[in-house]
């Protein structure tokens, strides 16, 4: 039996995603009709990008789930017409990319790299660099991405804390939670990284 999978994203994304999606669907042995134009009452699954023109899920009465293309679901989770289960993407590359982005910027700020990059050519200020263990970083949001970034920064020697709505335990990370914990987490921060969804 074949399933109908609607790819719902900006039209310029289809050429980028079509071949990988077809390949991965075939790898797991699913027979699927994958397309960008399937009548709503014939759609079994929706592969969805937040920049999609699709905003009304009510006509998709046969659909079993919406598969979000990225980890962030804030653009869809509040949609009042969403009556289907919503699955967000979990991909090691997304986590690795976020670790690199956050670590790169914390190191840039911690080491004052902007002053060196924008200095007049041939000018060098011999200022001793700070050490990571003297710098306190707080991650707001200890989901999968936040926890991974906190752990990565701790391996550099930073004094890392994190905050989440509910209590978490992460080796080597001071964890705060709730409204009282938020104030305490912010008070101890030299740098603060915001990894909270807007949900």
Q: What is the CATH number of the domain that holds 136?
A: 3.40.50.720
Residue with tokens 């305490």: 184
Instruction: Please report whether residue 199 resides in a domain.
Output: no
pTM of the model: 0.72
pLDDT computed for residue 198 by the predictor: 67
Of 28, 62, 87, the one marking the end of a domain is 87
pLDDT computed for residue 37 by the predictor: 93
State phi, psi for 95 to the nearest 5 degrees.
-65, -45
Is residue 62 domain-shared with residue 150, that is, in the same domain?
A: no
Is residue 134 domain-shared with residue 158, that is, in the same domain?
A: yes
Of 87, 113, 144, the one marking the end of a domain is 87
pLDDT computed for residue 156 by the predictor: 96
Is residue 79 domain-shared with residue 118, that is, in the same domain?
A: no
DSSP H/E element including 160: strand 159-164
Question: What is the span of the domain harbouring residue 154?
Answer: 92-194
- Is 160 within 8 Å of 191 (Cβ atoms)? no
Is residue 24 domain-shared with residue 76, that is, in the same domain?
A: yes
Cα 94 off chain centre by = 7
Is residue 70 domain-shared with residue 154, that is, in the same domain?
A: no
State phi, psi for 13 to the nearest 5 degrees.
-85, -25
Is residue 79 domain-shared with residue 119, that is, in the same domain?
A: no
Is residue 107 domain-shared with residue 181, that is, in the same domain?
A: yes
Is residue 129 domain-shared with residue 157, that is, in the same domain?
A: yes
pLDDT in 10s for each residue of the chain, 199 residues: 789 999 998 888 889 889 999 999 999 999 999 999 999 999 999 999 877 888 899 999 999 999 888 766 777 878 889 999 988 777 788 889 999 999 999 999 999 988 888 888 888 778 888 999 999 999 999 998 999 999 999 999 999 999 999 999 999 999 999 998 999 999 999 999 999 876 6
For 18, counting Cβ atoms within 10 Å of its Cβ (0-12 exposed, 13-18 middle, 19+ buried), the class is middle
DSSP H/E element including 175: strand 174-177
- Split into its structural domains, the chain has a count of 2
Of 87, 111, 131, the one marking the end of a domain is 87
């Amino acid at each position: 039996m074949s399933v109908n999978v609607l790819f719902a994203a900006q039209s310029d994304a289809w050429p980028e995603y079509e071949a990988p999606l077809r390949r991965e669907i075939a790898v797991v042995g699913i027979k699927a009709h994958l397309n960008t134009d399937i009548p709503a009452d014939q759609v079994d699954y929706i592969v969805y990008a937040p920049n999609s023109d699709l905003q009304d899920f009510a006509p998709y009465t046969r659909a079993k789930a919406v598969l979000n293309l990225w980890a962030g679901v804030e653009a869809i989770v509040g949609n009042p017409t969403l009556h289907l289960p919503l699955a967000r993407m979990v991909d090691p590359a997304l986590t690795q990319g976020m670790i690199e982005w956050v670590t790169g910027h914390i190191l840039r700020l911690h080491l004052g790299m902007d002053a060196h990059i924008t200095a007049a050519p041939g000018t060098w200020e011999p200022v001793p660099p700070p050490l990571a263990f003297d710098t306190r970083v707080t991650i707001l949001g200890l989901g999968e991405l936040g926890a991974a970034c906190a752990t990565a920064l701790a391996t550099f020697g930073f004094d890392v804390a994190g905050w989440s709505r509910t209590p978490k335990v992460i080796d080597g990370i001071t964890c705060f939670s709730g409204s009282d914990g938020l104030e305490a987490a912010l008070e101890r921060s030299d740098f603060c990284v915001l990894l909270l969804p807007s949900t």
